Chain A
Amino acid sequence: MKTAALIGNPNVGKTSLFNILTGSNQYVGNWSGVTVEKKEGFLDSKLKIVDLPGIYAMDTFSSEEMVAKEFLVNEEADFIINIVDASNLERNLYLTTQLKEFSIPIVLVLNMIDVAESKGIEINYELLSEKLGVTVVPISASKSKGIEKLKVLLIGGNFLSVSSDNDFQFHSEKDAYEFISKLLSICINKEYSNKKTSTELIDIFVLNKFLAYPLFFLMLFLIFKFTFSWVGQPLAAYLSYLINNELVPLLSNLLGNSSPWFSSLILHGIVGGVGSVIVFLPVILSLFLGISFLEDSGYMARAAFIMDKAMRKMGLSGKAFIPIIVGFGCSVPAIMSARTLESEKDRKLTALLVPLMSCNARLPVYALFASAFFPGHETTVVFSLYLLGILLAFSLGILFKNTIFKKDEEPFIIELPEYKAPEIKNLLTHTWDKGKGFLKKAGTMIFSVSVVIWLLSNFNLSGMTDINSSILASIGRFVSPIFIPLGFSNWQNSVSLITGLMAKEVILGSMGVIYGGNLRVSLIGNFTQLSAYSFLVFVLLYTPCVSVIATMKKEFGTKMAAFSVFYQLSLAWVVSFIVYRVGTIFIK
C-alpha cells in the first residue's frame, strides 16, 4: 500500500478535497503528543491518504508544522498531494518550494480554478509543471471539476518523479519569493481589476465600527438558540423522554421477574449511563453545525479579529470567545470546540477555563437553594455566581498565562479568507466527525463511570442496600471533614457532591433521596444562608462532571484531565473557604 500526504495552506479547500477523495472511508484522531487533528482515509485499497494540518510553511515552529515536517522527514509518505489556491498562487507556492526540499514526488493540485478564472487569472499549467518539476492538476473541489482525472492519476501513480538535481534550495524567504515571482510572471496572465470584491463589500458591514459587535452577538445568539433552545436541547430532552418513559417502563416490565439487583443494574446503571451519554449528542451536533458554518463561511476569522483585544487580557486569542460562551450552555461541546483554535496553548488554556463558566446543569441547584435560602433575591444570588465564574476565569487566565503557559507565546497572525457559501456536505461530515468522536471516546468512559457510581451507591460490603448505608455513604462520611471549614460538613452533602460528578443536576436528585421529604424544608434545617452560599460556590467551581473529564481526556490526554480535576477542586475549596470565613466575620 502506498501513502500520500495531503498538504496545503489553510483555507484552500484541503478538507473538501480530502472528503471527496476518501468519502466516508476515514479515521480521525490526534497526532501523538499534540492536540492537532490527524485524519487518515483511503482512496482505494492501495492508496492511503493522510491529511496533514493546514500550514503556510515548514519552519515556523507551530505544533501543526512540526507534525507535518516530522511526517515527511520520516519518509512515511510515498508522494505528496500539495493543494494550492489557484487564485493566490504566489503565497501558496512558497510552501511548495519548501516541499521540494524533501525530494518526494509532488502532485500539485490547483484548486478553485473557477475562482481564479473569475478573477481574470490565466495559468499555463504545462509551463508551471515543467518549471517546478511537479505534476500539475487543475480542479475545482466545490464544483467537482477535474476530480475524476485526479483520482485516476493518483491511483495510476503516473506522475513526475523527483529529478536528481534538486535546485530548490533557497537560502532565505526572499530568494524563494523572488523565484516564485519570476516563475509566475511567465506562467500566469492576470488582468488587474480594481473593482471591490464581494468579500470587501461584506467586510464593510461585518467589520464596521458600530455594526461589528451587534452582528457578532446576533450570530452567537442564533447559534446558542439553535443549540440550546430550538434544535439541540429539545432533541436531547426528547431522547431522554424516550429513554425514561418508553425504554425504562418497557425494560422494567421485561425485568419484572428477575432479581432486584439485576433490574437496578440495567435500569439505573446501564440505561442511566448510556442515557447520560446519548442526551449530549444532539447538543454537540447542533453546536458543531453552527460552528462549522461560521468556520467554512469565513466569518470565524473575523470574529477572532474583533474579539481579540478583550480575550487577550486573559491570555487567549479572539477565537477563544466562542468556546467560552458555549461553556455557559455545556462544557462538553465547549471543550470540543476549543479544537478550532490556532495554537496548542490557546486550546489548553481555553479548555481549563471553560468549566468555570456556569453551565446549564448547575442552574437547577442554584435555583432551588436560592429560592429556599434567599427568597426575593434569587436573581441576585444566581447572577453573582455566574459573575464569580467569569471573574475567576479572567484571573486564572492571567495567572496561567504567566505561569504554566509562559513559554509558548505565539504570534497571532491569522488569514481573513474570502467569504464563501459553506458546502452542506462538508458541514455534515465535519459535524458527524465530532459526534462520532464523542460517542466513541468520551462515551465509553462516561458509561463506565456511571456503572461504577451505581455500584457504589447501591451496595455495601454485605450486599445490596439503599444509598444511606451504601459504600458511597461511607465514602461521604470519610471525606466530609474536609468540608468543615466551608460550613457544610455533613455526610449527606458530601455524598450529593460526589454523585454530582455524574452531572451537576444529580446533586439535587441525591439530596432528595438522602434527606427525603420536602427537600426545600429539610435543606433549611441543614444549612444557614451563609453555608448555603458557600455550598453553591463549591458547586459552581468544583470538578466538572464526568462527561467533561472524559472529553478533556479525549482531547488533551490524561494529564490535562487530572490537572483540571485537581485545580478545580482546590479552587472550589479555597474560594468557598474565603466566602464562608469572610462571611462569618460580617454576619457576626
Chain B
Amino acid sequence: MELGEKAFIHSIAGNEKLMKRLMALGCIEGTEVCLKNCAPFGDPLIINLRGCDFCIRKKDAKNISIKDTQEE
C-alpha cells in the first residue's frame, strides 16, 4: 500500500491477541482502511479506521490483508 492510499480489509491473520485487538477496534472484513503516515524510519505506520488514527507496527500490519473493492 502507498501512503495516502485507501483500501478495504479482506481478512486478518496472526495470533489471537492481535486479531482480537484489531477486531475490537473495528478492523473487520469490508472496513475501509487508509494508510496515513509512517514514522521517519519507515516503521511503525499510522492507519485510519472508522475515523480514528492508530499507530501499528509493520509486522502486525502485515497480518491485515486488503482488497480494492468492498463486496457484500
Where the two chains meet, the residues of A that have a C-beta atom closer than 8 Å to any C-beta of B are 56-57, 59-61, 88, 90-91, 94, 172-174, 177, 203, 207, 209-210, 212-213, 301, 304-306, 308-309, 312, 410-416
A172 to B20 Cα, complex, angstroms = 10
A34 to B26 Cα, complex, angstroms = 27
- Within 8 Å by CB of B55, from A56, A91, A308, lies A308
Residues on A with C-beta less than 8 A from B43 are 308-309
Residues on A with C-beta less than 8 A from B21 are 56-57, 60, 411, 413
Contact A301 B55 (CB under 8 A): yes
What's the minimum C-beta distance from A12 to chain B, rounded to whole angstroms? 11
Contact B44 A88 (CB under 8 A): no
Residues 8 to 47 of chain B near chain A (Cβ within 8 Å): 17-18, 20-26, 28-29, 31, 37, 39-41, 43-44, 46
Contact A94 B17 (CB under 8 A): no
Residues on B with C-beta less than 8 A from A308 are 39, 43-44, 55, 57
Task: Determine if B7 is an interface residue (Cβ-Cβ < 8 Å).
Answer: no
A61 to B21 Cα, complex, angstroms = 9
Residues on B with C-beta less than 8 A from A301 are 55
Contact A305 B23 (CB under 8 A): no
A304 to B40 Cα, complex, angstroms = 12
Residues on A with C-beta less than 8 A from B26 are 90-91, 94, 173, 177
Listed A/B pairs (25) with beta-carbon separation below 8 Å: A56-B25, A59-B24, A60-B20, A60-B21, A88-B50, A88-B51, A94-B26, A172-B23, A207-B37, A212-B40, A213-B40, A305-B44, A306-B39, A308-B43, A309-B43, A410-B17, A411-B57, A412-B44, A412-B57, A412-B60, A413-B60, A415-B53, A416-B46, A416-B53, A416-B55
Classify the secondary structure of B's interface with A.
mixed
- Within 8 Å by CB of A173, from B23, B49, B56, B57, lies B23
Contact B52 A415 (CB under 8 A): yes
Contact A413 B17 (CB under 8 A): no
Residues on B with C-beta less than 8 A from A212 are 39-40
Among residues of B, the one whose C-beta sits closest to the C-beta of A173 is B23
Residues on B with C-beta less than 8 A from A172 are 23
Contact B18 A411 (CB under 8 A): yes
Residues on B with C-beta less than 8 A from A60 are 17, 20-21, 24
Contact B25 A413 (CB under 8 A): yes
Residues on B with C-beta less than 8 A from A413 are 21-22, 25, 54-56, 60
Asked whether A56 and B24 contact (CB < 8 A) given A91-B52, A413-B55, the answer is yes
9 cross-chain pairs, A with B, having the tightest CB-CB distances, nearest first: A57-B24, A173-B23, A416-B53, A60-B20, A411-B18, A305-B55, A60-B21, A56-B24, A414-B55
- Within 8 Å by CB of A416, from B24, B31, B54, lies B54
What's the minimum C-beta distance from B41 to chain A, rounded to whole angstroms? 5
Residues on A with C-beta less than 8 A from B49 are 91
What's the minimum C-beta distance from B16 to chain A, rounded to whole angstroms? 8
Among residues of B, the one whose C-beta sits closest to the C-beta of A180 is B26
What's the minimum C-beta distance from B7 to chain A, rounded to whole angstroms? 18
Contact B17 A59 (CB under 8 A): no
Contact A412 B52 (CB under 8 A): no
A515 to B17 Cα, complex, angstroms = 59
Residues on B with C-beta less than 8 A from A416 are 46, 52-55
Contact B44 A91 (CB under 8 A): no
Residues on A with C-beta less than 8 A from B57 are 308, 312, 411-412
Residues on A with C-beta less than 8 A from B31 are 177
A171 to B29 Cα, complex, angstroms = 15
A414 to B54 Cα, complex, angstroms = 6
Residues on B with C-beta less than 8 A from A203 are 37
A304 to B44 Cα, complex, angstroms = 10
Residues on A with C-beta less than 8 A from B50 are 88, 90-91
